[in-house]
Amino acid sequence: MGASSESSRRHEQLILPGMAGNARNKRVQGGITTSNVVVSAHVGGNAEVFPHILALHVPEGSTVADVTWGKGVFWQNVPSGRYILKASDISIGVDCRALPYADGSIDCVVLDPPYMEGLFRRSREHMAGSGSHKAFRQNYSDGEPSQGGAKWHNAVLELYFAAGREAYRVLRNEGVLIVKCQDEVSANVQRLTHLELINEYERTGYYTKDLFVVVRRNRPVVSRLRKQVHARKNHSYFLVFIKTRGKKRRHHFERSRTRSSRMGETSG
């Protein structure tokens, strides 16, 4: 029995150093268990969601150009001084399709142009946003009728596409573009605006990094309803894009996601 125990101890001494070496090479997952994370769907308003998007994707001290400022609703709950904010919109003569910034000079662009096709009409009398919706026209349109160019929903896309290309010009490499949009039914045809934007922006050279869904608290009211054929939209989107270097963009961000996973971010 004594000889057997001695042999067993010698065997353990021979294999333990190797086992210790393997332990040193084994990757240890870091992080903590928590539910305190930024989630993708929110019931509430833009001012409640927007600060979470900035906190997750835009470092403090970044230069942020909000090129469709309107009433500045997005920024109501963002502490003053956290970012270098450049606010502009069409009401002060700055078109989001022709920005007064140098190439590669901006860290983040915020884009929220009119996303209702009813704001793109040839006559002011036919434009959406009158009566109880007057505030919407004031926030999302210059109130002037459209002349020339595409019509209806395609006019909405034309504006988004041109503004996205201009944002790409002024953003630094790996800069952030935050876009607000909403799907709509135009001429009785379902138009999934968020998918149309993602497809076009990725052709431009962006990587689609994140998507947030904002669900309104109150129920929409429809006037003169005869027969409903589509679900009424009560949600909108914030899309987060990253400016990348052409063909290398997907490979670059696949590697970034792999590194994040190895550090413990296994989902989301």
Tens-place pLDDT, residues 54-94: 999 999 999 999 999 999 999 999 999 999 999 999 889 99
Signed CA dihedral, 52, 231, 113, 119: sign only? negative
The percent of residues above 70 in pLDDT, for the chain, comes to 67
Determine the pLDDT at residue 262.
54
**Residue 159, phi-psi category: left (phi > 0), alpha (psi -120 to 50), beta (remainder):** alpha
Determine the pLDDT at residue 22.
58
Judge if pTM exceeds 0.85: no
Determine the pLDDT at residue 248.
56
Determine the pLDDT at residue 259.
57
Q: Quick one: angle between helices 152-170 and 193-204, nearest 10?
A: 40
- Which of 61-70, 81-90, 168-177, 229-238 shows the lowest per-residue confidence on average (mean pLDDT)? 229-238
Cβ within 8 Å of residue 190, ≥6 positions away: 183, 230
End-to-end CA distance of the chain: 57
More confident site: 5 or 128:
5
Q: What are phi and psi of 109, to 5 degrees?
A: -115, 135
| Residue 132 pLDDT exceeds 90 | no
Cα separation, 213 vs 43, in Å, equals 8
